[in-house]
């Protein structure tokens, strides 16, 4: 045979060791099998991150009924409960932070009882635009509807509507003493903190003050 075509004893030893490793590990080339379409995988796939669309709030604080994304831009059944981790420390008078149509990126995690549950974070701005549905009265809150994720559609019913937004006036007066006035159908910005919506702007009082 031409020179250089024969295997050395070292090469033969390497091949033998490799073959023995294949036999012990039960390797059959499974890592090269084609993966299934992610849409076909069961919901108990613990390593996956899924997108969910909020449909409604549940009786439990921070947990929403959601639809799972099956194809790009499309959400379908089954309805799944998903915990928004940003709402895990809420007040007694809790108000949901998310609106219908908001998106949550979630994964499965075991709770203290070993039960697998869906948890995640919302893919929405922390500061939300809203529109007032009344003129401010002698109180420190005003009722508003959130603006949807498209930045223009007012949510007039269901989750994201009729939310009490609390505001601060220099001097501690009620919202009807704010300057500029809080009128009906006006836009403002708010942020949810521990289940309570706050107007991000601190307003001046329209009442005259005596400087001391």
Span 22-55, pLDDT tens digits: 666 655 544 444 445 544 555 544 448 899 999 9
Same domain (yes/no): 152, 94:
no
Same domain (yes/no): 132, 114:
no
Same domain (yes/no): 148, 116:
no
Span 86-138, pLDDT tens digits: 987 778 888 999 999 999 999 998 888 888 999 999 998 889 999 999 988 88
Same domain (yes/no): 89, 109:
yes
User: Is the pLDDT higher at 209 or at 168?
Assistant: 168
CATH number assigned to the domain comprising residue 57: 2.40.50
Same domain (yes/no): 118, 132:
no
Same domain (yes/no): 114, 69:
yes
% of the chain exceeding 70 in pLDDT: 76
Q: What is the DSSP string of the chain?
A: --TT-SPPHHHHHHHHHHHHHHHHHT--SGGGSPPPPGGGS-TT-TT--EEEEEEEE-SSTTEEEEEEEEETTEEEEEEEEEEEGGGSS--TT---S--TT-EEEEEEEE-TTS-EEEEEEE-S-SSEEEEESS---SSSEEEEEEB-TTSS-B--SSTTSSEEEEEEETTS--GGGEES---TT-EEEEEEETTEEEEEEEEEESS-----
Give the model's pLDDT for residue 25. 61
Is 190 a domain residue? yes
Is 168 a domain residue? yes
Give the model's pLDDT for residue 90. 77
Of the candidates 58, 93, 122, which is a domain's last residue? Answer: 122
Is 159 a domain residue? yes
Span 137-184, pLDDT tens digits: 888 889 999 999 888 899 999 999 999 998 887 776 778 777 777 788
Same domain (yes/no): 183, 133:
yes
Of the candidates 122, 153, 181, which is a domain's last residue? Answer: 122
Give the model's pLDDT for residue 97. 92
Is 211 a domain residue? no
Is 37 a domain residue? no
Residue 140: which domain range? 128-205
pLDDT > 70? residue 207: no
pLDDT > 60? residue 10: yes
Give the model's pLDDT for residue 112. 84
Same domain (yes/no): 117, 142:
no
Same domain (yes/no): 118, 136:
no
Same domain (yes/no): 149, 185:
yes
Same domain (yes/no): 68, 103:
yes
Same domain (yes/no): 111, 173:
no
- Count how many domains the chain has: 2
Is 91 a domain residue? yes
């Amino acid at each position: 045979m031409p020179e250089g075509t024969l295997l050395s004893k070292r090469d033969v030893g390497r091949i033998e060791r490799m073959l023995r490793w294949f036999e012990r590990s039960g390797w059959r080339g499974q890592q090269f099998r084609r993966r299934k379409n992610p849409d076909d995988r069961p919901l108990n796939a613990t390593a996956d991150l899924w997108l969910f669309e909020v449909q409604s709030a549940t009786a439990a604080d921070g947990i929403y009924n959601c639809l799972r994304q099956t194809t790009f831009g499309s959400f379908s059944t089954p309805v799944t409960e998903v915990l928004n981790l940003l709402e895990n420390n809420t007040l007694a008078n809790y108000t949901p932070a998310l609106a219908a149509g908001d998106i949550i990126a979630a994964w499965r995690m075991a709770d203290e009882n070993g039960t697998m549950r869906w948890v995640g974070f919302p893919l929405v701005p922390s500061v939300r635009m809203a529109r007032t549905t009344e003129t401010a009265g002698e109180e420190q809150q005003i009722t508003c509807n959130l603006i949807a994720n498209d930045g223009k559609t007012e949510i007039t019913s269901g989750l994201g509507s009729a939310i009490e937004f609390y505001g601060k006036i220099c001097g501690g007066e009620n919202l009807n003493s704010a300057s500029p006035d809080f009128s009906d159908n006006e836009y403002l910005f708010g942020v949810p903190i521990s289940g309570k919506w706050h107007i991000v702007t601190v307003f001046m009082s329209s009442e005259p003050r005596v400087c001391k």
